[in-house]
Structure 1
Amino acid sequence: MQLHGLIHTFPKEIKLFIGAFVIVLSVGYFTGLLFVGQTSTTAPHGIEENYLGNEENEEAEVMKFKKGAREMLTIIHTHILSMSFIFFLLGGLLAITSVPKKIKTFLMLEPFLSILLTFGGIYFLWTGILWMKYVVMLSGIFMTASYTVGAFFVFRQLFKK
């Protein structure tokens, strides 16, 4: 079965359906990033503070406490599962585009590595391995870049003849 370029053969209504899905998925994804920005976890110190707390800092604007084990497992569990579905669906759509195969393969696989590094890194940071905040930050950047480029390619391919 030939998947490469299959998206170009779809009828207009299926392309509109896929386009609407990618738009709504992107709104959800980037809304999540806005939430991350609101919790000041976009810088290494903010990432550490979000999971380990800041009780020792008497001048902190917002007091944060170390997350409990149950809360950490819930965060990690729900994010790994939901993001796996997001990238599985986006990867499935990328598979049927005519994007060069090496780029397509990278964009289909990289997010899964980033999911494991981001949320595994959050767990290890929580256990006290403080340098993992840099892994979390970098893998989060790669995950977002992969999502953005992948969604852009799928959307652009919907209008390519």
Structure 2
Amino acid sequence: MQINGVIVTLPKEIKLLIGIFIVVLSIGFYTGLLFVGETSSANPNGIEEQYLGNEHDEDVEVMRFKKSEQEMLRLVHNHVLSMAIIFFLLGVLVAITKLPNKFKLFLMVEPFFSVVFTFGGLYLLWNGMLWMKYIVMISGILMTLTFTLSVFIVLYQLFQKKPV
């Protein structure tokens, strides 16, 4: 079964449904990024402080305490499950776009690795592997870039005219 480029041949009602889904999904995704920016200053030291606390520094504006194991397990569990569903659904949509196969495969598979490295890395950081804050930052950036590129490709191809 050939699925490369099927997205442009879908009925307009399905295209509208997919388009609305992608927009709402993106609002949720980018709102989460705003939250990350607010809580961790979007830098490696801010990430470390968010999960390991800063109570040793008396001059901080906002006092943070080390997350409990229950909080960390809940965070990892919730994010891995929800991101797996998000990237599976987005991957299915990328699968029906018209792209070179290797590039398409990268967009479909990479986010799953980034999810594991990002949220597994947060847990390892919390357990004392302080260098994981850099892995978390890099994998989070890569996950965001992949998400953004996939969304743009799906939306662009979604509203192309059907070939005659």
TM-score of the pair, normalised by structure 2: 0.96
* Aligned pairs (5 A) from 1:101-116: 101-116=101-116
Q: Structure 2: give runs of 5+ residues left out of the alignment.
A: none
Which residue is equivalent to 2:29?
29
Which residue is equivalent to 2:146?
146
Mapped partners of 1:153, 1:41: distance in 2: 29
Q: How many residues align?
A: 161
Which residue is equivalent to 1:133?
133
Mapped partners of 2:100, 2:52: distance in 1: 43
Which residue is equivalent to 2:91?
91
SS in 2 for 1:59: coil
* Aligned pairs (5 A) from 1:20-99: 20-99=20-99
**Deviation (angstroms), 1:40:** 2.3
**Deviation (angstroms), 1:41:** 4.3
Mapped partners of 1:159, 1:135: distance in 2: 36
Pair 1:6–1:85, CA change in 2 (3 A): same
1:94 is matched by which residue type in structure 2? V
Mapped partners of 2:136, 2:68: distance in 1: 19
TM-score of the pair, normalised by structure 1: 0.98
**Deviation (angstroms), 1:103:** 1.1
1:159 is matched by which residue type in structure 2? F
**TM superposition outliers: structure 1 runs of 4+ over 3 Å:** none
Q: Deviations over 1:13-51 (max 9, x none)?
A: 111111000000000000000000110241000000000
Q: Compute the RMSD of aligned alpha carbons.
A: 0.7
Mapped partners of 1:129, 1:159: distance in 2: 46
2:78 is matched by which residue type in structure 1? T
Mapped partners of 2:52, 2:112: distance in 1: 25
Pair 1:27–1:81, CA change in 2 (3 A): same
1:78 is matched by which residue type in structure 2? N
2:93 is matched by which residue type in structure 1? L
Mapped partners of 1:99, 1:60: distance in 2: 49
Contact 1:122 1:133 in 2 (8 A): yes
**1:3 matches 2:12:** no
